[in-house]
Amino acid sequence: MKKVALVTGAAQGLGFVIAERLLKAGYCVAISDRDYEGAKLAAIKLDASGECTLAIELDVSSKPAFEKGLGAVLGKWGAVHVLVNNAAVTKTTPLMQISPEEFDSVVGLNLRSIFLGCQVVGAYMAETGFGRIFNMASLAGQNGGTATGAHYAASKGAIVTLTKIFAKEFASRGVTVNAIAPGPIDSPMVRAAVPADRMGALCSNIPVGRLGDAAFLGDLIVQFSGEDAYFATGSTLDINGGLFMR
């Protein structure tokens, strides 16, 4: 049976790279995004034949949308083995300028997407007895953030807690749930948040002296998706160049 992965927010950026690495490792990958046209273009770019990719329009704030997306993947490939909850909204509004409405929208979507993905897809995986779920957290959720907004940082910190809760729920049924907390990655999101004239200063403050590699995160997900990764659950993988050490 083909291994199958579903990646949210995969039309571009980090999600696209993660999907690319999963595909390279032999997975069939559902490219989901609220931007359906973008998802279709990404799917074609990754696999022009369409045999091992599927574009899905997915509003991660909607439980029915997750259920419909899961149904579409099962309809094409008959299984889902890996879920990467990557979709998120990023805002850099200064702390004292964040409105209550903006705070609610950022925290609500970023947490709701994780909750619904784990709940809907995780329940399916628990029924089948196997699954690997990855929730994209962030260094910002551990150190309070630097280039990102307080609402984004707060939501990413809470994702670590949700990860532990779902890991406990599914541990006895063959499903692992882990979080990945990257520091600054060489990605469109980071380059959009950090002006070019500040990039040098950012890199000089990272102990290893450079931005992280998105492809490495994808390969890490591949490694932790194997059957032999059953003992790794409820953890947060810190990939941050030495900016945060436990």
Contact (Cβ atoms closer than 8 angstroms) between residue 177 and residue 234: yes
The active-site residue out of 152, 164, 168, 230 is 152
Active site annotation includes 45: no
Active site annotation includes 152: yes
The active-site residue out of 40, 156, 168, 230 is 156
- Closest residue by Cα to residue 157 from 173, 129, 181, 176: 181
Q: In Å, how far from its chain's centre is CA 125? A: 18
Catalytic residues: 152, 156
